[in-house]
Structure 1
């Protein structure tokens, strides 16, 4: 997720971050980029807290927020490195998008933008051709199976104009020549705390859980221009599947595939193995065979986690 220096952009990003975690995507599969720490800004009347609603019931900046890139680490260069995997050797795994050819990736960006650009740190811009080139490299390097790009900014649709890679779906908060608007003002904080497009996206997902079968088509149809005060744009020509057949959890959530068996559960096999006698030859052989079986079962359990989505989050 990418956001800019404004309070509401940070709230946008943290709100969607909370949503995808609630729907099953773990932190180790999320890259969160926050360009500024509004929680600790001296003008924030609620220190160490960020809210997206004037009732202040839910602190979005709680103990379970793991920020991967913050402040002046959030640059166009670092963002493109995350997408393409072109990191310096010293960059830890936690700051890398460890995706592959089977991954479904959600890329969410929010901030100030214009015709074919999105601003970073008020002094540089991500251009539409930069994004298209990075996505092309990702496809060539087998870094995703399907990619959903969601952008909440003015003239968001223009950021998708150069995309050509298959398997890519894009949605923006506004068309060319349109502004994207904030939703409501918090008088205590003195600024708007969430944007309209993201607010209505969150309202859609608050009705769902990780097992819901709502489709991408239902999400796209939920955007009402009279509520957004702009026209949501969809780029679908590069994506071949019917949207009414694609669950939103393909990108916004994760559910482990469960395999039913008739045999008893044998969890913590290593502890069970330690209790086996090792004093005679036959028992040693049996013990080795059980260890091999335990290793095989652990491998199978790891392979069951088949539907985790990779989620690239940046904050501009």
Structure 2
């Protein structure tokens, strides 16, 4: 009793299956003549006949019938041609995707960012990239600089926008300087401080504050600013790193919340996330230490990552060049 032939992909390749055979089969399906099909794929008719004979041996079945006016695919030939057309299309698509990856027009880019630059720089960039480079997939992590640095060294992100802390060896990273991050004091729209004339920073200390946990960069910047102005830190504070919780507390109570200015600008814009918040007109020069775009010195970026980093650097330069 004859044994069934092994028709796995590896066995077919070992048996001599080749792409030119499939291309020739498709040409015959389209043209109906061996001579015309051979000319279309760029070979002689004897070479075409030889390839077809090899393909029939590999398939183990007749693939076409000869007629006075040409050749017609058998049922087996038509089935193989249909599958071959799909396979060649998939191969062409795969090579197109490889080209896209190599050019930086596709791939995955893993960005880390602190909240302010995330809204000011990363979000607008991603919005534009959905139009110009829709095949690039973004994975964005929003966290504090210390957690982002840890993720960078663990290779969980490709780069981050934040600060390089003292425990990071500067020889291990490349930093593109961006600038200081302004801080704004955020309150609800009916807060009593908004009705006070000649408002001072000291006036805000009569109210509860909601801030980062002790040791957080933004909190340290606020406390240092108060100290430079001979003021004590707030006596009543709620500590949280959650922006969502902070917004909920601001909306329901008379707390004062220092947040990145870029975040505050979004929150107070009419029709945006929450138009019921306001920025206090005080301490306009309060800011966190300068931050930058941080990447590993010894890690070569993929083409997609390099493209996005270049576009971010362009936007950073354009922002620095704007007056005011």
- TM bucket (normalised to shorter chain) is under 0.3
* TM-score normalised by structure 1 residue count: 0.24
Kindly indicate whether structure 1 or structure 2 has the higher relative contact order, using CA contacts under 8 Å at least 6 residues apart.
Answer: 1
* Structure number with bigger Rg: 2
**Which has the larger strand fraction?**
2
